[in-house]
């Protein structure tokens, strides 16, 4: 069983690498961003609530997000492990994850931080906006998401470092360059 968390600033390539990792290890991909977007498209109550925050580049409140992840991880599909992409994003969520895993007698194997230079973030996200047309990839919302990342998510690096779980992968270069680095890390 493999239980992995992927961390990284917006635009670091978490989603792309998470999908490759899940195919490679044959485990489910749990992306809170994808679940929210799916609910927004389906115009569910969760989607309507989440959209208020996502459209502004803010985080969806912890309580709602933690509940969503708990129910997803309790589905049988995650029994063989999972890659968490975009969760946790706050210390409160990291504590909640610890309790959720404790309740099902699991622990995290690794937390992989994909690093990219600050100056590449905006450029990458604007390029993605062009390709994918994500509503939260406008310059204004991107700026907000980066500041939320620094304020709320970056403290998780120290959190997981302290737990001895943090590893980092250089996110610079092509998708395949990064993937080769991910694979050699996993092999260790």
Supply the residues annotated as catalytic.
14, 89, 128, 134, 145
H/E stretch holding 150 reads none
Residue 145 touches ligand AMP, criterion: CB under 6 A: yes
d(CA 152, CA 155): 7
Residue 112 touches ligand AMP, criterion: CB under 6 A: no
**In 26-166, where does DSSP find H-type helix?**
32-41, 45-54, 62-73, 91-103, 118-132, 139-148, 155-162
Among 33, 100, 137, 146, binds ligand AMP (CB under 6 A): 33
Residue (114 or 187) nearer to ligand AMP, CB: 114
Residue 65 touches ligand AMP, criterion: CB under 6 A: yes
Residue (36 or 82) nearer to ligand AMP, CB: 36
The C-alpha angle with vertex 57 and arms to 117 and 90, in degrees rounded to 5, equals 75
Residue 59 touches ligand AMP, criterion: CB under 6 A: yes
Alpha carbon 62 to its chain centroid, in Å, reads: 14
Residues that bind ligand AMP (CB under 6 A): 10, 32-33, 36, 53-54, 58-60, 65, 86-87, 89, 93, 136, 145
């Amino acid at each position: 069983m493999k239980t992995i968390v992927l961390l990284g600033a917006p635009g670091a390539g978490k989603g792309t690498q998470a999908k490759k990792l899940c195919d490679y290890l044959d485990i489910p991909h749990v992306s809170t961003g994808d679940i929210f977007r799916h609910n927004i498209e389906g115009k569910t109550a969760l989607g309507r609530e989440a959209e208020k925050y996502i459209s502004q580049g803010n985080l969806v409140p912890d309580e709602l997000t933690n509940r969503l992840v708990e129910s997803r991880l309790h589905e049988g599909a995650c029994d063989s492990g999972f890659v968490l992409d975009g969760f946790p994003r706050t210390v409160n969520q990291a504590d909640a994850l610890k309790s959720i895993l404790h309740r099902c007698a699991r622990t995290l194997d690794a937390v992989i931080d994909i690093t990219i230079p600050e100056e590449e973030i905006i450029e990458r996200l604007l390029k993605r906006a062009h390709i994918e047309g994500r509503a939260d990839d406008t310059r204004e919302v991107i700026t907000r998401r980066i500041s939320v990342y620094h304020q709320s998510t970056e403290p998780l690096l120290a959190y997981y470092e302290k737990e001895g779980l943090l590893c980092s992968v250089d996110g610079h270069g092509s998708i395949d360059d990064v993937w080769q680095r991910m694979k050699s890390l996993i092999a260790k």
